[in-house]
Structure 1
């Protein structure tokens, strides 16, 4: 059956996930107007043509950097090097002095160029088409320079060295494979099969398995292979307690660090989670993904890669895709704790946020007990 183009659309969460599979560098767009410097982290950056040399960047129309580029008519693309992940986060914030502590050099167009970048490209704006919430700035290249440094790579929400990003992608893919029980429990995990399915390297899959051994999700066998470890009540409750401990620490020590953008994200995500309860059963994957994004955002306010990584490694949300029934998950999954957390954080009520976290944790433990009872005591 042919469908009219105007009748087809993609869910925002699905789109965000798919686009996240595009590996890219990380760039900060800078400019200057009326004696003031502006900058923002941008993901939509690309070369446009070689003759003449042109680049394009897409900036949200709500950003101050967008308005400054419109006013000045010039901008610089700073392609970050591997040690500059902190700058990507810094320039992605709002309401702060983004250039605090940042060494810059003035370019030929009078725009700030970030020292230590992998490459810098200065552009003069030629055209400004609009697409949705963003303006596309076509820029004629006036000056460009590259340096012998390693790139900062971005893939599926992870930034770092290109090889490190590949390793993280393999780890997350293997972990998801195990939690979703794509290989039946107690059967040997076929590393070659997993590597092919994930489009990864078999050595990286093996390295991921070693990490999962430390997480007690898999165990080695005498023949050098790996099998999955059944999840029991004590394991699942320990995972919930561990995540709650981290989130409790964030809500206690970093509560004032939530920006307006963070609060808006949490509020919007909680609303979308609530809306999914009225959708059909096919929305379970989206429901679980949004829950993960919600709690990862809370821990993310610490700007600690180590803490965020530890929190994500305690995540067991994807196992519920295996444990829950498509026809009944909407009745089984209780999202009221998440809604209460979003409300408390956005209104600045720290005690209510901590209370909501405890409620969310207990709800999760209760769900774990119910799921285990339906599956003979282990998943």
Structure 2
């Protein structure tokens, strides 16, 4: 799906704008694709992760370069993250030339798309949406595969490549996320870039980045007429999500009980122990750390199936978002949640399928009940 954005408001001088945005530091990537038997690639610094659950990327590409049209036609692209020593690669793919891949070692990903062998990370994406704004197209991509190796990233600042630590946008996103979860904004409320920038005591670039990430998290949605809107959360959303997770886990139990991979069981045990460190005396010491461990625990359970489609289905449920807007609304919790998850793991370790099913079902019912308790305090919706 392609959307067009037309700015009819008065605009800042182009040269001034170019000078000002040059103060933004960013990582350097080469975005590649392949269509009609030909490889395409270009250096891009306007690339970011959009969502962790489901995993998504955002790549902004100038419409005047052939790579933009090639991505639109192929429906796929790969983000190749460059390391500190790859300034030559960055320049090679940033300048017009007959064969940008000359002398460059490549590997092939899905659809034959070239992946730079020297990149410190490669992220393969399928285009889910294209938004056209001014001279550029923004390609939202669902991540289908990702690899990384050791190495510090190359960065771009004031027209040159170099080293730079940049955490400002991430801090803005985290603050905005906390505001949404703590109900600073009401469900259904329209929030503009300028309004969020004021709330964050930041600038429009930070606010736009935060809204983009929040959209990927499912905490806000993009309405074509109204703009960014705070997404409501209710009992039905919670029930559907927790029941979907249960259905996946019951299928895994039926398939692997009694023959589970010991390494994955050990991994699940590690994540359970981590959860125990952050839920003490019926109180979250660090909810976000607990949430990460909880997600990893259930992901390990699903991974016991060895089925990538089931793992992908689990990843599409936005479990973290649902739990953040239910369990995460208060620091109070219960050790009973740890106990029932321990029952699930111990049943899998002993090969007791019936006990594992009972524990999985009990945990689902407890999670749904907890959401109802939280929503009862907020009128049934947050």
TM norm structure 1: 0.47
Higher relative contact order, chain-length normalized (CA < 8 Å, sep 6+)? 2
